[in-house]
Amino acid sequence: MPKVFERPHALKDVSMHYCPGCTHGIVHRLIAEVIDELQIEGKTVGISPVGCTYNNYEYFNCDMVQAAHGRAPAVGTGVKRANPDNVVFTYQGDGDLAAIGTAEIVHAAARGEKITTIFVNNAIYGMTSGQMAPTTLLNQVTMTTPFGRNSESHGFPIKVCEMLSTLEGVVYLERVAVNDIKNIKNAKQAIKKAFQIQLANKGFSLVEILSTCPTNWGLNPIESLKWLQDNMMPHYPLGNFKGKDLEV
């Protein structure tokens, strides 16, 4: 019988360490499927972030560099400038990308650096156990906003796609979610397009992926998917911000 479903080759056959219900595993798989389909495993270099996915070099079957907090776009810039034929992607969370690494992502984007960023937004710091992220919603309770995030004390959540969409160096920008089958399929198409943009040497591409953090949200996996849909999606609308009709 022909196989109709199998583990992507770009994903190692090892157990992941993520919490039950966490969607990092889904995002990893989507990236690996895209790498397989585009047949770029041998030329891909991934940049791992800090945070929950600091060691995703143990999961992806390609060359990887582990970067300091927030610096993945700068490290990716160095890798890409050294070997422009490599396909370089950074994998970053919201604390990494939208707090400590804001300068690096904004300027890599502004330069039109020919790298692809996979930005996983779960509205909270995961690995350090649930503090406020730049993407934490107003009224959301975290370890450092125990009475809920309020704009007076804590400022407003950052909408990364909207912010980056003003930059000329950005070629492709899309926000997706991994909360149901339809959205997961859309997420894969967006990731694939982002990699294709890089392969076509067009410029900077980023996919923001709305994800869950059941452990630090204090919800079970099913409730988390619903919370994402009911609370994150209204504030972070899904859709394409740039490059929708670009032929690659």
- For residue 163, the cross-strand partners are none
Residue 122 makes contact with other proteins by CB under 8 A: no
> Sign of dihedral through CA atoms 197, 199, 202, 203?
positive
CA proximity to 120, closest of 246, 201, 234, 18: 18
Q: Residues 61, 135, 179, 216: which binds other proteins (CB under 8 A)? A: 61
Residue 68 makes contact with other proteins by CB under 8 A: yes
User: x/- string (CB under 8 A) for other proteins, residues 140-169?
Assistant: ------------------------------
Q: How far is the CB of 125 from other proteins (least distance, A)?
A: 17
CB nearer other proteins, residue 64 or residue 213: 64
Q: Residues 43, 138, 189, 233: which binds other proteins (CB under 8 A)? A: 43
Q: Residues 36, 57, 158, 223: which binds other proteins (CB under 8 A)? A: 57
Residue 11 makes contact with other proteins by CB under 8 A: no
Q: Give the strand pairing for 116-121 and 63-66.
A: unpaired
Q: How far is the CB of 121 from other proteins (least distance, A)?
A: 22
Q: Which residues bind other proteins (CB under 8 A)?
A: 41-45, 47-48, 54-55, 57, 60-68, 71, 74-83, 85-87, 103-104, 106-107
